[in-house]
């Protein structure tokens, strides 16, 4: 899997991130980088968020 170093540098996960922040971060990460999978504990909510966003 490829890592998008620039995206990771400019989009750090907040320290002590809330569940909502983690979901938003992983949704953005899924769109920008493929270096790892979404954690199973967040996957349903991240997928739901991604599906609710308008397509570019």
- pLDDT tens digits, residue range 10-50? 999 999 999 999 999 999 999 888 788 999 999 999 999 98
Nearest to 34 by CA among 15, 53, 8, 11: 8
* Cβ-Cβ contacts under 8 Å for 38 (sequence gap 6 or more): 26, 29, 30, 46, 47
Task: Give pTM, 2 decimals.
Answer: 0.85
Instruction: Reply yes or no on whether the pLDDT at 56 is more than 80.
Output: no
Total domain count, the chain: 1
Please give the radius of gyration of the chain, using alpha carbons only, rounded to the nearest integer: 11
Domain that holds residue 9: 5-52
């Amino acid at each position: 899997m490829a890592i998008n170093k620039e995206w990771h540098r400019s989009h750090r996960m907040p320290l002590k991130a809330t569940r909502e922040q983690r979901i938003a971060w992983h949704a953005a990460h899924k769109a920008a980088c493929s270096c790892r999978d979404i954690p199973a504990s967040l996957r349903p909510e991240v997928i739901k968020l991604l599906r609710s966003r308008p397509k570019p």
